C-alpha cells in the first residue's frame, strides 16, 4: 500500500540485507521508506514479545542495516514505520504528543517490543530521518480484528478505559508521502482526530459489522486468557495527538474519525440479511 502510493517519489525497501540498497543506487539516490514488519497471523498475545520477535528484529537489526545501506548509497531521506498506541506514559492526560514521555515501566510481557520501537525511533532520528508513529491501522479487507469482533471473541475488559488511536490506511499513505516531501527530522504521530477508549469504539465497530455488542469480562479473567499486555492496552493505554503532523505536513485526513472510517471500510461486510444493530456510543469528553 505505502509503496504503491509513493512509488514515483521513493524507493521502498523492506529487507534486513544490505544489498537492498541496490535499487536506489542504480540511479540518483532516492528516499527510503522502511515499512518492514512480520505481523501477519498474530494470535498469541499472551506471549507478546515472543509473537513480535521477528518484527522486533526488523525494527532493530533491519533498521540498522537499512540506515547503513542508505549511508552507502548517499540517500538523504529516510522514513520509517513506528507505532503510537500503548507506548506513552500511563499517567497525565489521555492524549499524548510526540514530546510526551514514553511509558517508563512497560508491562513485562512487552518490554522487548517497547525497546525495539524505541531503538527504531532513536536510530532513525539520530541519522536525520523521520519516524512515523502510526495509530492502529484499519481499512484492509483482511483486517484481523474483524473476525473476533464479529464472533464476539473481542470483549471489553474491565472498564474498557484503554484509549486507542486509529488511522485509515488511505490517510496513513497520504501522511507518508507528505513526510517524504515536507517532513522535518523527528517523530510524527500519524493518527486520526479522535482517540477513544475501547468501551466507546468497540461497540461501534460491532454495530458496523452487524453483530451483537461485545461481551464484558473482568480484568482477572482476561489476564488469564490473553495476558498482561492486552489487558494493559484495553484498560490503561493512552492515545496520541496528530496536531504536529497536521501543522507541519499540511496533512488533511479523509477520515478524521474512526466513526466515519469504520463505516466506509466495513459497512459492506454486513451479512446478506441486512441486519445491523443500531448503536451509537457517546463521545468521550
Integer Cα distance of 164 and 160 in angstroms: 11
Mean pLDDT of 153-174: 97
**How do residues 81-134 score in pLDDT, each as one tens digit?**
999 999 999 999 999 999 999 999 999 999 999 999 999 999 999 999 999 999
* pLDDT for res 262: 97
For residues 44 and 148, what is the distance between their CA atoms, to the nearest angstrom? 14
pTM: 0.86
Residue 171: all three cell numbers together:
490517510
Residue 231 has pLDDT above 90, yes or no: yes
Q: Which domain holds residue 244?
A: 2-269
pLDDT of residue 253: 98
Q: Is residue 183 part of a domain?
A: yes
Q: What pLDDT score was predicted for residue 285?
A: 34
The DSSP letter of residue 100 is S
Burial (CB < 10 A; 0-12, 13-18, 19+), residue 134, is buried
Is 90 contained in some domain?
yes
At residue 66 the predicted structure's pLDDT band, cuts being 50, 70 and 90, is very high
Domain count of the chain? 1
The CA distances from residue 115 to 20, 56, 212, in Å, are 25, 9, 38
Query: Is the residue at 142 inside a domain?
Result: yes
Residue 120 in any domain: the answer is yes
Rg (Cα) of the chain, in Å, rounded? 19
Compute the mean pLDDT over every residue in the chain, rounded to the nearest whole number. 87
Instruction: Examine residue 283 and state whether it is found in any structural domain, yes or no.
Output: no
pLDDT, residue 157, reads 98
Residue 276 within any structural domain of the chain:
no
Answer whether residue 281 is part of any domain. Answer: no
Count CA within 13 A, CB hemisphere, residue 9: 18
Helix, strand, coil abundance in the chain, percent, nearest 5: 40, 15, 45
Is 278 contained in some domain?
Answer: no
SS (H, E, C) 225-279: HHCHHHHHHHHCCCEECCHHHHHHHCCCCCCCCHHHHHHHHHHHHCCCCCCCCCC
CATH of residue 195's domain is 3.40.50.720
65-89 average pLDDT score? 95
In terms of Cβ atoms closer than 10 Å to its own Cβ (0-12, 13-18, 19+), residue 201 is buried
Strand partners for 130: 79, 186
Question: 37: number of CA atoms within 13 Å, CB side?
Answer: 16
Amino acid at each position: 500500500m505505502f509503496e504503491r502510493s509513493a512509488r514515483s517519489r521513493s524507493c521502498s525497501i523492506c529487507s534486513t540485507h544490505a544489498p537492498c540498497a541496490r535499487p536506489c543506487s542504480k540511479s540518483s539516490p532516492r528516499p527510503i521508506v522502511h515499512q518492514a514488519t512480520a505481523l501477519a497471523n498474530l494470535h498469541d498475545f499472551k506471549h507478546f514479545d515472543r509473537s513480535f520477535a521477528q518484527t522486533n528484529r526488523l525494527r532493530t537489526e533491519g533498521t540498522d542495516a537499512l540506515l547503513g545501506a542508505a549511508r552507502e548509497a548517499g540517500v538523504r531521506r529516510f522514513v520509517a514505520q513506528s507505532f503510537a498506541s500503548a507506548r506513552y506514559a500511563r499517567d497525565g492526560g489521555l492524549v499524548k504528543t510526540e514530546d510526551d514521555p514514553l511509558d517508563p515501566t512497560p508491562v513485562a510481557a512487552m518490554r522487548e517490543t517497547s525497546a525495539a520501537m524505541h531503538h527504531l525511533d532513536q536510530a532513525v532520528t539520530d541519522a536525520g530521518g523521520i519516524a512515523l508513529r502510526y495509530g492502529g491501522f484499519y481499512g484492509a479487507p483482511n483486517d484481523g480484528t474483524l473476525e473476533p469482533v464479529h464472533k464476539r471473541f473481542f470483549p471489553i475488559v474491565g472498564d474498557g478505559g484503554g484509549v486507542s488511536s486509529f488511522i485509515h490506511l488511505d490517510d496513513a499513505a497520504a501522511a507518508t508521502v507528505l513526510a517524504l516531501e515536507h517532513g522535518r527530522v523527528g517523530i510524527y504521530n500519524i493518527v486520526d482526530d479522535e482517540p477513544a477508549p475501547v468501551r466507546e469504539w468497540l461497540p461501534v465497530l460491532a454495530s458496523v459489522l452487524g453483530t451483537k455488542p461485545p461481551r464484558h469480562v473482568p480484568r482477572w479473567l482476561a489476564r488469564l486468557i490473553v495476558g498482561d499486555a492486552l489487558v494493559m492496552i484495553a484498560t490503561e493505554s493512552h492515545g496520541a495527538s496528530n496536531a504536529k503532523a497536521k501543522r507541519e505536513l499540511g496533512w488533511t485526513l479523509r477520515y478524521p474519525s474512526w466513526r466515519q472510517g469504520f463505516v466506509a471500510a466495513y459497512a459492506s461486510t454486513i451479512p446478506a440479511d441486512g441486519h445491523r444493530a443500531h448503536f451509537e456510543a457517546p463521545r468521550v469528553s
